[in-house]
């Protein structure tokens, strides 16, 4: 009796081309483990060029290499979804388990040999020498391969050559405990190094793929929905509220309110109408537009930003091994010393003891342990540090550059105050009238007025006929009066004198005006508010860590200066009205002056600056492409954890230096004894391994300071890291 294959989870193909397919799969939205299994299944398929899972949208996008017929592609997607049901979930084990995943068989052999050798000596029995030697040599094969490559390809002596020489000498002399312990330590060190490593190639998201799969295009007098790849210059696309604009182009017809803040840094939606330019990746909040296509794909402004990011220098993201460099420098002196002792004493055992009692293995194990502990400690405190290199760079920064919108500010408007400009009404009455007119509108400023009124107990009253002019404001009939609530353009167009409001204007603030029956009655001031924690965080970075602080934005210079003054950033360090390429140029200039720079940003317009910084920092809720580019991710969408992350990085480097000093001191004493009076290989191994254990425990100290802190689950951290 055969068992039917399980059905594929519910899914719908929403877009398909010869080289890619996107399907809606509700299962991935609510099941992080299933998403990881699906990614693993797709990653093993040689026909899959890339797979991207957007859990928030319940979407799976797969690119094929080479192209695949439509029916075969749909069948293969269904197969992968079905296979993911039973796939072993990568990373689903506990925090400790992934540390040695894939390496535990290599650790079992040397541990078994060492245990047998030690217990056998005490109990009076031992492994037959040929059997023990064979097992040790099999366990040492990974080290032997690396040593062989170093000698034949790199043509240099490295730590693996030294370790392999010591293993061979001690094994041939009949010792099993010493070489087995060396193999075990080396494999533990390599496991920790791999755990702290970040893939050397940055996986850049396809920005256009994340914006839109299709566009509505006017062809032959009809509106057709076509794949975005098929849209060409000169055509007219139609965009509706809630959609992201898929192209760069000029408005042919219509009027709309566009949210451009992730592209330009402008926090308030802007009005776009006939003849004005609009850009791909921006979000239409209200209205509708017919757009003449001028740029598509990589030619759009957003596409050029991604290209600029790709051209940025990508540093080696494997842990920049200060430890390995120190260790490799010790290899040649160790060989020379062992060779000299062998020539003088003719005793291979003493030479082997010198090779075992080297500084290198202890450094190679203990230093990555300190780095891993610091990264784990930071994650428990709400900071995801993606690599050992990022941790090392973070420890050395002396300059922090903040983007303004959405980083040190909230990224949405808030009312700052209400002023009455006439004796006919009080400020409270102005607010009540404004909330009556603005009720139930979805414009961000209208929503801010409603929130402000609710906080102060002001309730909206009945509203009669009303009309909303996109980008201008609202005209309404309230209690027999004609009321205008909106911009200066709205009131000026209706003949209202704006002069009475002049005294209420403040630098760096925007205004909503309130007029009744053609006469000015009040002004409501609003702005993108500074985050509550921003002042404390910037003060801590400046005063406690000695950082130089810069603020930059694509927003108006006047607004930037007002925010900078609020945060006590020197005026010379505040930079406004910058395009993305100018932000990157500012970062390059700071680095050229010898500064070590961290950049904090969250939008598409921040990508070049993130790519050119020594350390790039973003938020867990930032745009997907900004989050992927960042070396450090602040999980809570708050700046609170940034000073703690800097402290953790600097503590890690202090522990690295301490560990090198401990390993150096202990093993120098062992080397002196082995050179002068002789030291049995087993004793040398005990001394050497003991110092390694001590320094490894010392490296774990950052984890001791996290009692009581909220801890993140593996699923949550891995989901963010792989987002």
Q: What is the mean pLDDT of residues 18-47?
A: 79
Helix (H, G, I), strand (E, B) or coil at 387: coil
Beta strands in 220-259 (DSSP E): 222-227, 236-239, 248-259
Q: What is the mean pLDDT of residues 69-79?
A: 85
Q: What is the mean pLDDT of residues 675-680?
A: 74
pLDDT of 204: 35
pLDDT of 40: 79
Q: What is the mean pLDDT of residues 139-153?
A: 81
Per-residue pLDDT reduced to its tens digit, 577-609:
888 788 888 999 999 999 999 999 876 667 777
Asked if 36 contacts 184 with a C-beta cutoff of 8 angstroms, the reply is no
Q: What is the mean pLDDT of residues 345-365?
A: 72
Average pLDDT of the chain?
76
End-to-end CA distance of the chain: 42
252 Cβ contact partners less than 8 Å away, ≥ 6 residues apart: 236, 274, 290, 291, 292
pLDDT of 569: 92
Per-residue pLDDT reduced to its tens digit, 200-212:
333 333 344 445 5
Answer yes or no: is pLDDT of 326 > 70.
no
Answer yes or no: is pLDDT of 682 > 70.
no
Q: What percent of the chain has pLDDT over 70?
A: 76
pLDDT of 116: 56
Answer yes or no: is pLDDT of 100 > 70.
no
How far apart are the C-alpha atoms of 538 and 534, rounded to whole Å?
6
Asked if 206 contacts 222 with a C-beta cutoff of 8 angstroms, the reply is no
Answer yes or no: is pLDDT of 103 > 60.
no
Answer yes or no: is pLDDT of 17 > 90.
no
pLDDT of 676: 76
Answer yes or no: is pLDDT of 320 > 60.
no
Rounded to 5 degrees, what are φ and ψ at 687? -60, -50
Q: Which two tokens stand for residue 252?
A: 């042919």
Grade residue 197 by pLDDT with cuts at 50, 70 and 90.
very low
Asked if 398 contacts 595 with a C-beta cutoff of 8 angstroms, the reply is yes
Grade residue 539 by pLDDT with cuts at 50, 70 and 90.
very high
Grade residue 85 by pLDDT with cuts at 50, 70 and 90.
confident
Q: What is the mean pLDDT of residues 186-197?
A: 58
pLDDT of 405: 80
Grade residue 432 by pLDDT with cuts at 50, 70 and 90.
very high
The CA-based diameter of the chain, rounded to the nearest angstrom, is: 112
Which domains, and CATH codes, for the chain? 12-83 (3.30.70), 104-199+318-371+650-722 (no CATH), 207-311 (2.70.150.10), 372-410+531-649 (3.40.50.1000), 414-527 (3.40.1110.10)
Identify which of 402, 486, 476, 383 has the alpha carbon closest to the alpha carbon of residue 702: 383
Q: What is the mean pLDDT of residues 174-180?
A: 71
Answer yes or no: is pLDDT of 637 > 50.
yes
Asked if 368 contacts 375 with a C-beta cutoff of 8 angstroms, the reply is no
Higher model confidence: residue 476 or residue 380? 476
Q: What is the mean pLDDT of residues 33-49?
A: 80
Q: What percent of the chain has pLDDT over 90?
A: 12
Per-residue pLDDT reduced to its tens digit, 356-386:
766 666 676 677 777 777 877 777 677 888 7
Grade residue 550 by pLDDT with cuts at 50, 70 and 90.
very high
Q: What is the mean pLDDT of residues 682-709?
A: 68
Question: DSSP state, 320?
Answer: -
Answer yes or no: is pLDDT of 160 > 90.
no
Grade residue 717 by pLDDT with cuts at 50, 70 and 90.
very low
For 475, the enclosing helix (H) or strand (E) is: strand 473-478
567 Cβ contact partners less than 8 Å away, ≥ 6 residues apart: 408, 530, 534, 535, 538, 549, 551
Answer yes or no: is pLDDT of 259 > 60.
yes
């Amino acid at each position: 009796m055969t068992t039917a294959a399980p059905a594929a989870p519910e899914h719908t193909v929403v877009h398909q081309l010869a080289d890619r397919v996107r399907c809606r799969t509700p299962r991935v939205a609510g099941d992080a483990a299933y998403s990881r299994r699906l990614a693993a299944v797709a990653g093993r398929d040689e026909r899959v060029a890339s797979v991207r899972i957007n859990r928030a949208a319940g979407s799976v996008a797969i690119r094929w290499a080479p192209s695949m017929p439509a029916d075969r592609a749909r069948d293969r997607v269904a197969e992968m979804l079905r296979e993911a049901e039973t796939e072993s979930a990568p990373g689903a084990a506990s925090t400790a388990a992934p540390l040695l995943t894939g390496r535990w068989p290599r650790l079992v052999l040397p541990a078994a040999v060492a245990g047998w050798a030690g217990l056998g000596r005490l109990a009076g029995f031992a492994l037959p020498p040929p059997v023990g030697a064979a097992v040790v040599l099999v366990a040492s094969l990974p080290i032997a391969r690396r040593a062989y490559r170093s000698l034949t390809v790199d043509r240099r002596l490295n730590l693996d050559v030294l370790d392999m020489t010591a293993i061979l000498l001690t094994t041939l002399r009949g010792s099993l405990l010493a070489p087995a312990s060396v193999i075990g330590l080396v494999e533990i060190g390599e496991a920790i190094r791999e755990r702290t490593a970040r893939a050397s190639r940055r996986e850049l998201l396809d920005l256009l793929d994340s914006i839109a799969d299709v566009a509505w295009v006017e062809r032959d007098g009809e509106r057709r929905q076509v794949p975005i790849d098929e849209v060409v210059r000169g055509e007219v696309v139609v965009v509706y509220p809630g959609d992201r604009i898929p192209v760069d182009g000029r408005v042919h017809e219509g009027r709309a309110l566009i949210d451009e803040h992730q592209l330009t840094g402008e926090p308030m939606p802007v009005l776009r109408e006939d003849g004005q330019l609009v850009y791909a990746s921006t979000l239409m909040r209200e209205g509708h537009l017919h757009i003449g296509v001028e740029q598509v794909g990589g030619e759009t402004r957003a596409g050029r930003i991604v290209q600029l990011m790709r051209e940025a220098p990508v540093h080696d993201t494997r842990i920049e091994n200060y430890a390995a460099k120190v260790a490799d420098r010790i290899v040649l002196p160790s060989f020379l010393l062992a060779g000299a002792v062998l020539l003088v004493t003719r005793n291979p055992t003493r030479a082997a003891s010198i090779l075992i009692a080297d500084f290198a293995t202890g450094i190679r194990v203990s230093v990555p342990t300190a780095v891993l502990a610091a990264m784990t400690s930071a994650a428990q405190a709400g900071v995801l540090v993606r690599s050992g290199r990022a941790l090392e760079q973070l420890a050395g920064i002396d300059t922090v550059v903040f983007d303004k919108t959405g980083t040190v500010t909230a990224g949405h408007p808030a009312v700052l105050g209400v002023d009455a400009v006439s004796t006919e009404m009080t400020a409270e009455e102005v607010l009540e009238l404004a909330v009556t007119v603005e009720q139930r509108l979805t414009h961000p400023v209208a929503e801010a007025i409603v929130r402000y009124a609710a906080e102060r107990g002001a309730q909206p009253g009945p509203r009669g006929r009303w009309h909303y002019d996109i980008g201008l404001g609202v005209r309404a009939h309230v209690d027999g009066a004609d009321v205008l609530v909106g911009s200066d353009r709205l009131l000026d167009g209706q003949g209202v004198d704006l002069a009475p409001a002049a005294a209420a204007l403040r630098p760096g603030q925007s205004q909503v005006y309130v007029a009744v029956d053609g006469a000015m009655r009040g002004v409501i001031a609003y702005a993108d508010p500074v985050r509550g924690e921003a002042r404390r965080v910037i003060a801590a970075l400046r005063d406690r860590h000695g950082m130089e602080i810069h603020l930059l934005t694509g927003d108006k210079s006047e607004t930037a200066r007002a925010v900078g003054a609020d945060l006590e950033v020197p005026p010379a360090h505040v930079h406004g009205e910058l395009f993305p390429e100018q932000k990157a140029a500012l970062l390059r200039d700071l680095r050229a002056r010898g500064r070590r720079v961290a950049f904090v940003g969250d939008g598409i317009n921040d990508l070049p600056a993130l790519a050119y910084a020594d350390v790039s920092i973003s938020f867990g809720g930032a745009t997907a492409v900004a989050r992927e580019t960042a070396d450090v991710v602040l999980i809570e969408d708050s700046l609170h954890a940034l000073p703690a992350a800097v402290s953790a990085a600097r503590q890690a480097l202090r522990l690295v230096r301490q560990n090198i000093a401990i390993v150096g001191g202990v093993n120098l004493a062992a080397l002196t004894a082995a050179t002068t009076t002789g030291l049995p290989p087993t004793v040398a191994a005990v001394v050497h391994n003991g110092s390694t254990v001590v320094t490894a425990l010392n490296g774990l100290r950052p984890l001791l300071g996290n009692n009581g802190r909220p801890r993140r689950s593996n699923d949550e951290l891995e989901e963010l890291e792989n987002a």
